[in-house]
Amino acid sequence: MGAVDHHRRDRTPVTPLAELTALEVAAGRRRLVGPVDLRVEDGERVGVVGPSGSGKSLTVAALLGDLPPGTRATGRARVAGVDLLDALPRDLAALRGRVTAAVVQDSATALDPLARVGHQVGLPARRVRGLSRTAARAETLDLLGRLGFADPAAVAGAWPAQLSGGQRQRVSLAVALAARPRLLVADEPTTALDTVAQATVLRLLGAVLDAPGAPALVLVSHDLAVVAQLCDRVVVLAGGRVVEAAPTATLLAAPQHPVTRSLVAAARAAEPATGVGA
């Protein structure tokens, strides 16, 4: 079984872009996640995988400083030197777009149904990067073109409801990338898509991440076959804990934990569609 070796850059130890240390998330007396340790360097691609209910989404919510109401976190969560668990709302707001951006599973709710695509993609470029309307428009068309739209101008003038699910997810990616964040968190970004649309989104996302100055990626999925296509390293969660973490090729070749072995078996079964195989 093989995985893509991206050779992103020299891995000389540096202060990580993002780091979770002994993170625990609880609701009342019930511990939902933890302890979890996770480190992401600039330019690195890390997959977070596990079965449903393993704590993946809560873990990355902590990484974004966006835990749901009624939960509390202990340990440490830092991004770009900011302690997310102690940060003020204005500090968290300053990180979003400029440092972190997110793509979620449901593009239908992520996009504003009452705003045209071009406005939504251009807005982060204007607000975060200070681009003029003209420059933001050019950036919007460039991003839409890089994400596979043959007629970016037509898509920019469309309403979200006029697009397919796969097209809306590509627009969501464009919105997330428009501010040029350092860290892109994608939480199950292809789960709601059909096989063809999923393959298209993954291929285009990979091309964007290969470009100079691309952000680091944390890709969350229950599907190891999806993660293996894009990520250098994989962290496996089960029962809210990290049960295995390794470079992607190592984990695919010699999974150690029973949960990891089941995920690898599922990825092998999906080989004809994903290119992940023995």
pLDDT of residue 226: 87
- Looking at the DSSP bridge assignments, the partners of residue 237 are 242
- What one-letter code names the amino acid at 142? D
Does the CA dihedral 214-179-169-55 come out positive or negative? positive
Mean of the per-residue pLDDT values of the chain: 89
- pTM of the prediction? 0.86
- The DSSP code for 28 is T
d(CA 136, CA 83): 31
- Looking at the DSSP bridge assignments, the partners of residue 187 are 220
Does the CA dihedral 239-241-243-249 come out positive or negative? positive
- Taking every pair of Cα atoms in the chain, the longest distance, rounded to a whole number of angstroms, is 54
d(CA 157, CA 110): 18
**Inter-residue contact 22 to 35 (CB < 8 Å):** yes
Domain 1-99+184-278 has CATH 3.40.1080.20: no
Element (H, E) at 245: strand 241-247
pLDDT, tens only, 224-236: 888 998 999 999 9
The domain ranges of the chain are 1-99+184-278, 110-180
C-alpha pair distances (Å), 10 with each of 72, 74, 205, 212, 269: 36, 32, 22, 15, 33
pLDDT over 60 (residue 7): no
pLDDT over 60 (residue 118): yes
pLDDT of residue 190: 83
